[in-house]
Structure 1
Amino acid sequence: MRAFIAMAKKEFLESIRTYKLLIVATVFLLFGMLNPITAKIMPKLLSSFMPEGMAITPGEPGTVDSWIQFYKNMSTQLILFVIVFSGIVSNELTKGTLINMLTKGLPRKTVILSKFTAIISIWTLSYLICFVITLIYTRYLLPGELPNLPFAACCMWLFGVLEISMMLLGGALSGSIYGSLLLAVGFAGVLMLANIFPKLEEYNPYLLSTGCVSLLTSERVPSDFYVSIIVTIAFILLIIISSICSFNKKQI
């Protein structure tokens, strides 16, 4: 346990020293402010860009418009997060910084688990920053109440955990940044393609990313997501176990 805590602390300190935490937190903070502001001014922007003589009467923006922006932009933020932290495993392998620790008895599974814990904690912190800032600005600019708001937020967060886990597996398998990115992006692409089959939608983790707004508009209820959540958690556990097994066989 002491080794695990020490390794997790090392990852946190490294993310601070390399400014990765600052970059990600700043971007998520900015998007948190932009989500409700964009929703507020979008109708006016659309009207101003219309050709002369063409009339458009956009509806008044509401609370849900701000959260539509939140989930639409969160996909971009997740991609950025994966890019920034894609070298969390490969950099250690390239630089050989783990050799001394592993030869002194540090279990290899501790390396993977501590990295997973650290990066998910950073993802959670960044996500909370964006969510809270969006919530505060929305309450001020576009006040209103929405059903299932916390549950929808948790769904998107869990999908992010899945993608980050796949990124970690990519690093353990390939030992390169490109391998981490390709596996994470490729996995998301497979889930997206699988979503075209209606019978698979209930089981597809991609529903956690695409179905959040339908929760806020009451088109769906939380129980519609339960199967997808169970499948996603099972995927995450399987991916972490696979990452540990792959890293155990890795030549360092």
Structure 2
Amino acid sequence: MSNFSVLFQKEWRENVRNFKILWIPLVFILFGISEPLMNYYLPQILSTVGNMPEGTVLQFPELTPEQVVMSTISQYQFIGMLVVVLGFAGIVARERKNGTATLLYVRPIRYSSYVYSKLVIMCILVIGSVVLGLLANLFYTYVLFGTVDASLFLGFLGTYILWLLFVISIILFSSAAFSTGIASAVSLFLVLFVQIIDALIGKYWTIFPWKLPMYAGLILNDSIDMKPFIWSMSITLIAIVALLAGAIYFAKKNVSKSKI
């Protein structure tokens, strides 16, 4: 049996034991379902229990199906990414701290297989959970608000999956390079706070990996400018390769830091 297969089975069993295989998908599915339901029923809820003066008429903007999907993505971008960072920041660093890495490193394993096994399990859990959440969201959006164009949705989904892969690469690199606490701080800064910085002053640049969620929304609304989008995708792919190469390098370099 190959190094990768053995290591992947270890990662799978570990994530089954700590229930990440259950609660991470549930988080994204819950937000995927709740957003269209909340947007649809909120006016009725407020008019029923809001203690408004008699005769008050609440005016809410009519949301398009695309806007409902993007409101879900805004939830994923903050709460969802926070869950991902805190759930996986210790995926490499924690094994060095608790001594598990020592048991692995004394065996003839390839460090690339070690990192890739963690990459694959993170992709299955994170990307799979987001896709399930968006499919649930798409169903309720269709029932309550209308149809989203299938080809535009696939383009949107592919772009957002590339963003998720970028996030996963950042977390994996940080965990391989630093301790769990520092890896959490670095990942939170790069995944969440750089997004905030881009939202505040990002009008001064159009080519940036952190703009992929915005470009995904523009694809969904069929209003994308392809040139900066393609450049941003290209830079993101290069960054993913560099981050994974760095994760392999630091996984090997920090062997001496493993607890015995």
User: Do they superpose with TM above 0.5?
Assistant: yes
Aligned residue in 1 for 2:28: 28
Q: CA deviation at 1:37?
A: 0.8
Instruction: Give the Cα–Cα distance (whole angstroms) in 2 for the partners of residues 153 and 47 of structure 1.
Output: 35
Instruction: Give the Cα–Cα distance (whole angstroms) in 2 for the partners of residues 186 and 59 of structure 1.
Output: 34
**216-225 or 26-35, larger mean C-alpha shift:** 216-225
The one-letter code of the counterpart of 1:25 is P
Q: CA deviation at 1:34?
A: 0.9
Q: CA, structure 1 residues 137+166, in 2 after alignment: closer, same or farther (shift >3 Å)?
A: same
How is 1:55-66 mapped onto 2 (pairs within 5 angstroms)?
55-66=57-68
Instruction: Give the Cα–Cα distance (whole angstroms) in 2 for the partners of residues 40 and 194 of structure 1.
Output: 30
Instruction: Give the Cα–Cα distance (whole angstroms) in 2 for the partners of residues 168 and 240 of structure 1.
Output: 7
Aligned residue in 2 for 1:172: 176
Q: Is the 8 A contact 1:62 1:144 kept in 2?
A: no
Instruction: Give the Cα–Cα distance (whole angstroms) in 2 for the partners of residues 223 and 32 of structure 1.
Output: 31
The one-letter code of the counterpart of 2:209 is P
Higher RCO (CA-CA < 8 Å; seq separation 6+):
2
Deviation sequence 1:80-101 (CA, Å, 0-9, x none) = 1221122211221111112233
Higher helix content, 1 or 2: 2
Instruction: Give the Cα–Cα distance (whole angstroms) in 1 for the partners of residues 46 and 66 of structure 2.
Output: 18
Gap regions ≥5 residues in structure 2: none
Aligned residue in 1 for 2:163: 159
How is 1:37-48 mapped onto 2 (pairs within 5 angstroms)?
37-45=37-45
Report SS of the residue matched to 2:108. coil
Q: CA, structure 1 residues 230+27, in 2 after alignment: closer, same or farther (shift >3 Å)?
A: same
Over 6 Å off, 4+ runs: none
Does residue 1:237 correspond to 2:241, yes or no? yes
Q: CA deviation at 1:222?
A: 5.2
TM-score by length of 2: 0.86
Q: Is the 8 A contact 1:28 1:77 kept in 2?
A: yes
The one-letter code of the counterpart of 2:7 is M
Aligned residue in 1 for 2:2: 2
Does residue 1:111 correspond to 2:153, yes or no? no
Instruction: Give the Cα–Cα distance (whole angstroms) in 2 for the partners of residues 25 and 145 of structure 1.
Output: 23
Aligned residue in 1 for 2:229: 225
Q: What is the identity percentage for the equivalent residue pairs of Structure 1 and Structure 2?
A: 20
Instruction: Give the Cα–Cα distance (whole angstroms) in 2 for the partners of residues 31 and 191 of structure 1.
Output: 20
